[in-house]
Structure formats: C-alpha cells, structure tokens
C-alpha cells in the first residue's frame, strides 16, 4: 500500500474515533495526517485533516489548538469541491463559535451557505 492510500485509511480511522467519542485520539491522528499530507503535497487531504483537527480540538475545548488548526484549513479550501469546502467552512464556523467569536462564526457559515 502506498503512503497516500495508507493516509486515507488512517483518516477513516480518525473519523471513527470522532464518531465513537475518542476525540483526543482523533485529534492526534489528524495532526499527524496533516503533516504527512503536507509533506506529500496532497493539499486536499491536508486541508481535510486540518479541518477535522480544528473540529476535534473545539469539541475538546482546546481553544488555542482549535484556532490554529481552524485557521490553517481554509488556506486551500478554494481548491476543493463544493462539498468539501462546505465541511471546511462549517468546521471553521464551529471553531469560531467555540472561541466566542460569533461574528466570525456567522460569516463562515454564511459563506458555506453561499456555496
């Protein structure tokens, strides 16, 4: 199995951890995946990993981590499909909301709605 395929499997495992409530383990996997995908030059997967990392951190109330990951995710969002761009923006909206930034949260969600 090549590294890109292995990363997709790891991403699915991380989502499994999110769904089962093990957000700390999911965050660790998404953090590692973001670095691996950036190294590979896989912008779409790196964006997805950062978006999911921001979501996990925000749900763990790790605000500095959520803000950092959430800020990195939209950098490449313009290259993604409409569906994936919406997930990035919705996760970013959640990060802003959890950080107490209601205006920024609303802007991200409205941008997702416009797509």
pLDDT tens sequence across 78-114: 555 677 777 778 888 888 888 888 998 999 899 888 8
Structural fold of domain 3-114? 1.25.40
The CA–CA distances, whole Å, from 70 to 37, 49, 56, 105 equal: 16, 10, 10, 11
> What is the per-residue pLDDT across 10-61, written as a single tens digit (0 to 9) for each?
999 998 998 999 989 999 999 999 899 889 988 778 888 888 888 888 777 7
**Residues in contact with 96: Cβ distance below 8 Å, sequence separation at least 6, in sequence order:** 70, 102, 104, 105, 108
Phi, psi (degrees; rounded to nearest 5) at 80: -95, 170
The per-residue pLDDT for 41 is 86
Q: Which residue in 60, 51, 48 sits closest to 24, CA to CA?
A: 60
Answer whether 100's CB lies under 8 Å from 63's CB: no
Q: Which two tokens stand for residue 80?
A: 């993604």
């Amino acid at each position: 199995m090549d590294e890109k395929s292995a990363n997709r499997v790891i991403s699915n495992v991380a989502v499994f951890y999110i769904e089962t409530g093990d957000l700390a383990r999911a965050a660790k996997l998404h953090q590692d995946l973001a670095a691996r995908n950036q190294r590979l030059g896989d912008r779409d997967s790196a964006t997805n990993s950062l978006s999911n990392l921001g979501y996990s951190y925000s749900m763990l109330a790790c605000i500095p981590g959520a803000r950092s990951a959430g800020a990195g995710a939209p950098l490449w969002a313009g290259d993604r499909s409409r569906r994936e761009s919406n997930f990035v923006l919705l996760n970013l909206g959640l990060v802003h909301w959890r950080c107490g930034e209601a205006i920024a949260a609303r802007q991200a969600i409205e941008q997702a709605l416009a797509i």
